[in-house]
Chains A and B, each alone.
Chain A
């Protein structure tokens, strides 16, 4: 029995190690290569020969201005999350706790829109953005994305679970239904709102299709689009590109390690519900 168990344990560990190796390799290679010179690519060189020149270039070169791209990404992501934090809970609350004419239709709109891939509307969105002169502006990257039907749906599910007595008690204390939402119910939704913000953060930060379509002026590049252009321009310079990969993914990785627990809970709860 014991021998069988240890063989099994050994098997588990070997499988884990192989998979772990495959998954860790790209990251280790990226990190290592970003610190060496082009001459040393694909050879092993000691830490004494390492250099930070690859990184330096991104902060000194005008055309490849990582701080600028970072700023663009932060502005885009920040505005989108802010909008989602206001618009989604308001709509979710109305659909969960208020009784009004037209509610069924709005709920149907939310659920049906959730199913439509964004590709479906990309061409007209591009045309509309161009026609109102929003190409290469933050308006184009943020205004259409200030709400998300999936999150309205998620928050509605949460608000349904809030006892209606809470709202009634608040009204007895002199608050209106609107006041009860902002003062009582909204703060109660804190953990749902954090989960939503984390999912929205990762989705917006990593997006490529939309920013590359609506803002292709290097001045307005976000990190992901900028990284792709660096890769195309300096394709032979692996160390430089790898430094770009590290710089552009570092913020999201730090963010992930800070909020790992909530993020994973958000993912798995969306899975169980689906």
Chain B
């Protein structure tokens, strides 16, 4: 039967003899393989690989946007200058602070929300949507709304004043601005973590909980000894996604830096990202900015590596 089918196909192939050359090309793995990946490869080479190499090359140059043609190689001078700039260390510390505050909180919040909306409760679908909406809204819109909420005299600032905070507009106050950014990040990212946790929770076998109940385990014990170990691999995913995004925060900071330079007020929200953006794009110091970007890239790689190592050792 199979042989007969093949003959048939060959006969039909022969019918179109005029185009047999084109046909065999369109049927060849090599030709189609390269033809199908060509659009991607062209765009990738042009808009990813070439810029990627340039980031490294420019980082060793004294390159300014206005005179890119005369860019001179200056060795490690850009790096030396950055590593001697106290503003850079301030930016690194701010980036770390945002991650250290926001990542654990958004992870815990995401897990709590996932557990709550995973139960048989009326209206859980509505809550699920409500918690998730900040994630699909633009960061600029969320930041704008929170800035309006934290203006002087709104019920939010009154609320915080009541609980002993200074009567301050948080985004314009050097003491609170970084915390404000962290809150924005938590508000946005927790919904994503909730969805990821939710899909993991739905795969926890029900009989595990039933067995736990039979043995008289409390809700807390069930959570501690069944849920938490079960969602551990997902926790790694949630934490690493949030960490990388936390380091990349830009929109929120750009939105609160209204009149001043990026990282306003007075550099209180400067991060590694705003540091390179300020130098590379705003001041057009292409070489210096590129060196900052390369350092940013290494910081992210080191953190990713450490996280992997830490969780591999534990697991």
Query: Which of these binds chain A: B75-83, B100-108, B160-168, B247-255?
Result: B247-255
- 172-218 of chain A: CB within 8 A of chain B: 172-174, 176-179, 181, 202, 205-206, 208-209, 212-213
Query: Which of these binds chain B: A50-58, A61-69, A235-243?
Result: A235-243
Interface membership of A12, Cβ < 8 A: yes
Secondary structure dominating the interface of A: helix
A177 touches B32 (CB 8 A): yes
Interface size band for A: 35 or more
Interface membership of A20, Cβ < 8 A: yes
* CA gap between A177 and B35 in the complex, in Å: 12
Query: Which of these binds chain A: B84-92, B204-212, B293-301?
Result: B293-301
Q: How many residues of B contact A (CB 8 A)?
A: 96
B54, B65, B138, B192: the one within 8 Å of A249 (CB): B138
A256 touches B146 (CB 8 A): no
Interface membership of A74, Cβ < 8 A: no
Shortest CB-to-CB span from A158 to chain B, Å, is: 15
Shortest CB-to-CB span from B288 to chain A, Å, is: 10
Interface membership of B315, Cβ < 8 A: no
B27 touches A147 (CB 8 A): no
Interface membership of B170, Cβ < 8 A: no
- B47-72: contact bitstring with A at CB < 8 Å (1 yes, 0 no)? 11011101100100000010010000
The residue in chain B whose Cβ has the minimal distance to the Cβ of A87 is B39
Secondary structure dominating the interface of B: helix
Summed over the interface, the residue pairs from A and B with CB atoms below 8 Å come to a total of 261
The residue in chain B whose Cβ has the minimal distance to the Cβ of A27 is B133
Interface membership of B214, Cβ < 8 A: no
* CA gap between A212 and B148 in the complex, in Å: 22
Shortest CB-to-CB span from B171 to chain A, Å, is: 11
B121 touches A91 (CB 8 A): no
Q: Which residues of chain A are near B127, meaning CB under 8 Å?
A: 16, 19-20
Interface residues of B (CB under 8 A from A): 5-6, 8-9, 12-13, 23, 26-30, 32-37, 39-41, 43-44, 46-48, 50-52, 54-55, 58, 65, 68, 112-113, 116-117, 119, 121, 127, 129-134, 136-142, 144-149, 151, 153-155, 187, 192, 195-196, 198-200, 219, 234, 237-238, 241, 244, 248, 250-251, 254-255, 258-259, 273, 276-277, 280-281, 286, 289-290, 293, 296-297, 300
Q: Can you name 30 A-B pairs with beta carbons within 8 Å? A: A12-B116, A16-B127, A26-B149, A29-B149, A30-B148, A42-B153, A87-B43, A94-B37, A100-B33, A100-B34, A122-B280, A123-B55, A123-B276, A123-B290, A124-B290, A125-B47, A125-B51, A146-B43, A174-B9, A176-B27, A177-B28, A177-B29, A208-B139, A209-B254, A224-B141, A228-B140, A232-B259, A248-B138, A249-B141, A271-B237
